Structure 1
């Protein structure tokens, strides 16, 4: 078990000051990852068929693009568009089926990380000044408990009190397990290993790796004064992660639903939102190339380079 003291010994300094919070080993988080990864590798690879692979890729798009990137990240955390409770609730349910975790836990951690990365004295746990192996341990096996709730002011009003979000927060593993049960009834154990286990593990590892890479490698086009982290743009990961890998763009224009800014920066999350807008399912869609509408990030960054 990797305790906070052990993690601090590995890093050479406390991961966060006691006044900020504490970092500790999260047994459930670690177990969930490996319980998905091992069966996905051992039993999923031999069981792959064109049908299970196609179904898994479609489900990955629905849960990671529409659920995580569009529904939770751009919709709830940054409120870059408006939608009816039914549409918003459906997108958040898709996020839960990704197996990444509870929506409120993700929103809370995002707010805290965003708060400290925009300070000059960002603690090591939130700054990307360490190796990819260390980040793998920190982000996928540890959890952060904040000492106060000041960072939650970065979230739109009412997020932490939302009844649907609170329900999903407490029950999210049950929905993934229910999906596994239905998959088993339809396609057997091999289908579960591919469609649920391998897909979930791939989503967890993919999200973690894109988050690390899009802070350490790639192009930093926008310079944001007075911050510790301003992200980078990694073209291939940006395309594969539905726009999330264009992270320097996102740091510079955090309240923009559009993360790709150049023609080659294909942002499938943004294209999905435009399709939802055309169908009348979302409204008031904000983007860096649309009227600001009270965006706090307007004019915040300086663009450098060609």
Structure 2
């Protein structure tokens, strides 16, 4: 259920009606708090070294390999190639993050990229507001576009992919199934830590890195004609598997490598190099590698990132 909101910012609507509408997303809001509150109330007292280690390992598998490597770099930006089994497995790991459906994320990413690379970017997609407001907008509202022009930024056929469509419709069930298995093995405390707290930290962490990496930090690259060029926040870049080096990503959107300096530790890139060494992925595109032939034309242009 969505409830429309039209709260203006400095006299401007969040988005013009010609661009789309912003609505309060009841399910999105409830999902966050249904994970956060049990994680805090029941998870903190139940934490053990073994359970914490298992949760951190699962966070790496889902957030690094699933979200950053699988969905963001692999599917949305096509910064490398992988067979259907590897690709499908990485996308399933993304679903287990509890962040949402892969197609919803791909659509929003395309729309956000499109408008952030315009000079007349609506307030909803531009980071010209305080962090508390972004907390409400990003984690409780949902954008409904007025047209599909921004979807041209996605690889052809992505929205018709059967595996992605299946995961889009069923993603909460997979998280709940993981919770059921965890309950059977470790009881309610394990669910509160391994599923609820981990999911809530993933949602909040992704949101905060996204905000910080557009507002604070270093900006070495400026994209001409764009409202947003992102920033690099070293600590968050390391902790978010490279995603916090967001100014680098804006400038080299088709690069699977987001860290550019020796100190910019990009665990997502290192993971991809490991997968490449095992023969599981190939044709890695990177800012410091020769261009890969036959790459999608729209992915070869800097500044196609959000």
1:4 paired to 2:1: no
1:124 aligns with 2:123: yes
Runs of 4+ off more than 4 Å: 294-301
- The equivalences for 1:81-96 within 5 A come to 81-96=80-95
Determine the C-alpha separation between the residues in 1 that align with 2:52 and 2:112.
34
Cα distance in structure 1, aligned partners of 2:301 and 2:33: 43
Structure 2 CA distance, aligned partners of 1:279 and 1:46? Answer: 40
Aligned residues of 2:98 and 2:172 also touching (Cα < 8 A): yes
The whole-number CA distance in structure 2 between the counterparts of 1:182 and 1:31 is: 22
Aligned to 2:17: 18
Residue in 1 that maps onto 2:218: 219
Cα deviation, residue 51, structure 1: 1.1
TM-superposition CA deviations, 1:110-165 (whole Å, max 9, x none): 00000000000000000000000000000000000011111011011111000000
Q: CA RMSD in A?
A: 1.4
- Structure 2 partner of 1:102: 101
Q: CA deviation at 1:11?
A: 5.6
Using the TM superposition, give the Cα deviation of residue 264 of structure 1 relative to its aligned residue in structure 2, in angstroms. 0.1
Which is worse superposed, 289-298 or 175-184?
289-298
CA distance in 1, matches of 2:195, 2:24: 25
The separation in 1 between residues aligned to 2:298 and 2:162, in whole angstroms, is: 27
- Sort the Cα spacing of 1:182 and 1:299 in 2 relative to 1 into closer, same or farther, 3 A: closer
> Structure 1 residues 169, 212: CA separation in 2 closer, same or farther (over 3 Å shift)?
same
TM-score normalised according to structure 2 size: 0.95
Counterpart CA distance in 2 for 1:297 and 1:138 is: 28
How far apart, CA to CA, are the structure 1 residues paired with 2:157 and 2:299? 21
Q: Following TM superposition, by how much is the alpha carbon of 1:12 offset from its aligned partner in structure 2, in angstroms?
A: 3.9
Number of equivalenced pairs: 299
Q: Does the 8 Å CA contact 1:23/1:143 hold for their aligned counterparts?
A: yes
Q: Is 1:41 the counterpart of 2:22 in the alignment?
A: no
Cα drift, residue 4 of structure 1: 1.2
Gaps in structure 1 of 5+ consecutive residues = 302-306
Distance 1:45 1:36 in 2: 13
Q: Judging changes above 3 Å, is the alpha-carbon distance between structure 1 residues 124 and 268 closer, same or farther for their aligned structure 2 residues?
A: same
Per-residue CA shift, 1:152-209, capped at 9, x if unaligned?
A: 1101111100000000000000000000000000000000000000000000000000
